Homo-oligomer: A and B are copies of this chain.
Amino acid sequence: MEVCLAWGNCPQVLKHIVFVRFNDGITDEQIEKLIKDYANVAGVIEPVKGFGWGKNYPVQQLNHDYQYGFELSFESEDAIKEYLQSPALAEFHDKFLPACASRMVMDYYLF
């Protein structure tokens, strides 16, 4: 496996990682709809260069109750700011955020 150890000289992508715990009582169908909506909104906002998601798999018990992960990719801070200020994201968040019992976000340039 190749590992990038040339600090500062690697191709960079700005990852936007969102971990979510949905409200108790939400159905699988409601979760699937929210994930599809998330993917769709990521697909229509131009600065989003990648979208993926997954459901936590209980290998260890270190997930601090978060259940789902979402990975979005951007090319720059300006791109992520444009995404965060997008009306399409605001419209999605109007449905998504009230369904979340907890949410955390990490943003980092991936080396």
Chain B residues in 8 Å Cβ range of A69: 15, 17, 106, 108
Indicate how many identical chains form the complex: 2
Interface hits, A48-103 → B, CB 8 Å:
48-60, 62-64, 66, 68-69, 71, 77, 80-81, 84, 103
Q: Are B104 and A53 in contact (CB under 8 A)?
A: no
How distant is A106 from chain B, measured CB to nearest CB, in Å? 5
Q: What is the CB-to-nearest-CB distance from A85 to chain B, in angstroms, rounded to a whole number?
A: 11
Q: Indicate if A1 sits at the interface (CB-CB under 8 A).
A: yes
Interface size class of A (residues with CB under 8 A): 35 or more
Pair B54/A110 contact, Cβ less than 8 Å: yes
Q: Which B residue sits closest to A68, measured CB to CB?
A: B108
Please pick, from B66, B84, B107, the residue contacting A57 in the complex, using a CB distance under 8 A: B107
Knowing A52-B111, A111-B52, the reply to whether A106 touches B3 (Cβ < 8 A) is no
State in angstroms the CA–CA spacing of A29 and B111 once bound together.
17
A59 CA to B72 CA in the complex, in Å? 14
Q: Which 6 A-B pairs have the closest CB atoms?
A: A54-B108, A62-B105, A3-B43, A59-B107, A52-B110, A57-B107
